[in-house]
Chains A and B, each alone.
Chain A
């Protein structure tokens, strides 16, 4: 059986969630049928649940606020922001209301709230529709950040996010929507994967101690796997790839146990340079790994630049598999 595409898997997860939870509500711009969302992730949902799925005006601040209000009243609220870039318009609602409400009233207030954000570039959408804005939301108390990956089941993921009762933002790499989910522990002829404490570990079918461990999130998986192949076949470098599902708070324990005695570690993300998620991961791991590392954890990210629209210019700015391969070679060979 062919594995579903990531957008389809997300869609199935939402349908299951709505079937299981009659208090589930979804809001967003153009999410209703027949359009079904700009990336078709909500397709069919409004037809089956017409009173629980609503198209909103172009009002990101309000739609996240309305979703917070639903969650406050005890509903399960899912909001879609059409492009992650526009999450800036909901910054106050996320940072000063939803996240703080879980603690600022002196007692824990669980909120079942997920804000979905189609994220990232390599699609030619230009400077304001291509960003990876996770870093702007890292370190907000009471706000959890997750990312969709082709290795993590989306229904399990959404259920975990909601059941935690912590307002959460789910970043969904737009380049992933059309890709197939990986299933059965198989990535390709060379690499397989297994899941440990929410972290997917991609390594050779016949594992050997790696020269380097790479840490990334969903959107970068295909580019990173391509780099893994090139490094193995052309550079004689063995690298393993750890794919996290929760970006923040950083899941330190599984990352430490999986990076193990590795002497070289890199964190890969599509964000542009400066104040990155990777820096947060490196800061979380350095104190424990310092004694065994041969070099500081390497941060691999896009350039310090706006993201151009033209494909050839966009490629220059954003992390590609070649960027990863080059950085890992430098890290391993010194």
Chain B
């Protein structure tokens, strides 16, 4: 039997207890992945300031640990649906910062020829789209396909808290629950939808909404990748083997602006967000490892930026 959705007052085991939990030591690989994403995102904001990047981009600063914790639990034959804030999802799945940066800069070697840009990526079974909620039913369709063709594989779809304002999300959840499809819905609840605080735009909560469909649900406030991964492992396996949808909510923090320079939060709010940053906490607990890998990834991204900027522009024909 699967778990039923938890009531709103119940939180996951991980965030119970007094005070912030201590941070376990991460593998160099996990910490490298998180700091690669961080420096990648920071470099984008710099590239905007310098006039090399155009249009829009949504950085996932502060949320890097979510895809890093989850991705190793996903298999090659799983499908991943990412969203507008998807660079971390891509970089956790593929060690390909060069291809992603080339995509954003429209340079040779781009994942999608520079056509899709930040929000529209396709590589093997990884796909992102830029319209909120749009990929929920698409992922549901893929899950239906997988249930028939590849039992045990799943479709994982990333959403934000703001995504839950879209009606098609509920149409898809209803179908996924009724048809018993292997759909893993990951919500990165960073407390703010563009500039609107979640509390102002969401009645009730995500757990209650999952419960309305009889969909199992878990909520995590922890940011420790080791503990998160251990807790996620049985949930992901449950989606595979019970062939049922599952909603996982990560309470997280968006350190950066929604897109470029559009952060309207007060200094006090920003201080609180920075205080919750996993990186600050981790650096305090494991300074030697953090400083070493932080410097490595910073230099790596710097090199990649210089190398990709020197590449020729992509070519593409509309027909």
Contact = CB atoms under 8 A, between A and B. Distances in A.
A51 B149 CA distance: 12
Contacts, number: 116
B120 A105 contact: yes
Nearest to A107: B113
A88 interface: no
Contacts of A1: none
Contacts of B175: 56-57, 59, 62-63, 66
Given A103-B115, A109-B122, A69 B316 contact: no
B79 A65 contact: no
A67 B174 CA distance: 15
Interface in B129-183: 129, 131, 134-146, 148-149, 155, 167-168, 171-172, 174-175, 178-179
B140 A105 contact: no
Interface stretch (A91-99, A129-137, A162-170, A268-276): A91-99
Interface string A39-70: 00000000000010010110101111111111
Contact of B127 (A51, A70, A72): A72
A65 B170 CA distance: 13
Given A57-B174, A59-B175, A65 B138 contact: yes
Interface string A92-121: 110011001101111101000000000000
Contacts of A101: 122
A105 B122 contact: yes
Nearest to A51: B148
Interface residues of A, number: 34
Of A63, A97, A104, A106, most buried by chain B (CB within 10 Å of CB) is A106
Contacts of A61: 137, 167-168, 171
Nearest to B174: A57
Contacts of B318: 103
A66 B136 CA distance: 9
B142 A106 contact: no
Contacts of B136: 62, 65
B132 to A, nearest CB: 10
Interface in B168-224: 168, 171-172, 174-175, 178-179
A73 interface: yes
A207 interface: no
B114 interface: yes
A59 B144 CA distance: 16
B141 A106 contact: no
B112 interface: yes
B228 interface: no
Of listed B116, B127, B168, residue having the most chain A CB within 10 A: B168
9 contacts: A62-B140, A64-B137, A66-B137, A69-B138, A69-B145, A70-B141, A72-B138, A103-B115, A106-B111
Given A65-B141, A74-B145, 10 more contacts: A62-B137, A65-B140, A65-B172, A69-B137, A69-B145, A77-B141, A93-B137, A93-B168, A97-B129, A97-B134
Interface of B: 79, 110-116, 120-122, 127, 129, 131, 134-146, 148-149, 155, 167-168, 171-172, 174-175, 178-179, 314, 316, 318
